[in-house]
Amino acid sequence: MNNNFKDKSIIERILNYCNDIIKMVDRFGKSIEAFEADFAYIHACSMCIIQIGELSALLSDGFKDEYNKIPWKGIKSMRNLFAHNYEGISILKTWNTIEIDIPELFEYCQEIIEQIEKGDKD
């Protein structure tokens, strides 16, 4: 499989998980209090964060070098933290990831897809 196709497919999957988190925020509430009060909300968002980190590790090095506005290693590190120290994760840190980082990642991944698709047409 060609790296461009593989990387694009991974970015599309990351976009889907970001979108899932955004939908959960709309559904469960846009406050840290709502997040803190609902274990299903916490677990659902955390699983998406883990999946995003797992997928980011599958991107080719060339892709990560080219699209470097996002700290891909940091995303993988966050995944490791969630996967290996889940009970020690700060609610505030998780909420900040959901409220700040996920929308930024979503927007950047959309830009990447647009650039790739534009390049495919050239």
- HSE-CB of 71 using CA atoms within 13 angstroms: 9
Q: How many other C-beta atoms lie within 10 A of the C-beta of residue 32?
A: 15
CATH number of the domain where residue 74 is located: 1.20.120
pLDDT confidence tier of residue 119, bands split at 50, 70 and 90: confident
- Cβ-contact 113, 8 below 8 angstroms: yes
Q: Does the residue 67 lie in any domain? A: yes
Position 58 in a domain: yes
**Confidence band, pLDDT 50/70/90 cuts, at residue 122:** very low
Q: Is residue 94 a part of any domain in this protein?
A: yes
Note whether residue 9 is domain-resident: yes
Does any domain span residue 96? yes
- Please provide the average confidence, as pLDDT, over all residues in the chain: 92
For the stretch 86-104, pLDDT in tens is 677 889 999 999 999 999 9
Query: Got the DSSP string for the chain?
Result: --HHHHHHHHHHHHHHHHHHHHHHHHHH-SSHHHHHH-HHHHHHHHHHHHHHHHHHTTS-HHHHHHS-SS-HHHHHHHHHHHHHSGGG--HHHHHHIIIIIHHHHHHHHHHHHHHHHHHHH-
**pLDDT surpassing 70 at residue 121:** no
In a domain, 122, yes or no: no
Q: Is residue 109 part of a domain?
A: yes
Instruction: Over range 21-27, report the average pLDDT.
Output: 97
Give how many domains the chain has, as a whole number. 1
Residues spanned by the domain of 75: 3-117
Q: Enter the pTM of the model.
A: 0.91
Over residues 17-43, mean pLDDT:
96
For 46-83, the pLDDT digits (tens) are 999 999 999 999 999 999 999 999 999 999 988 888 88
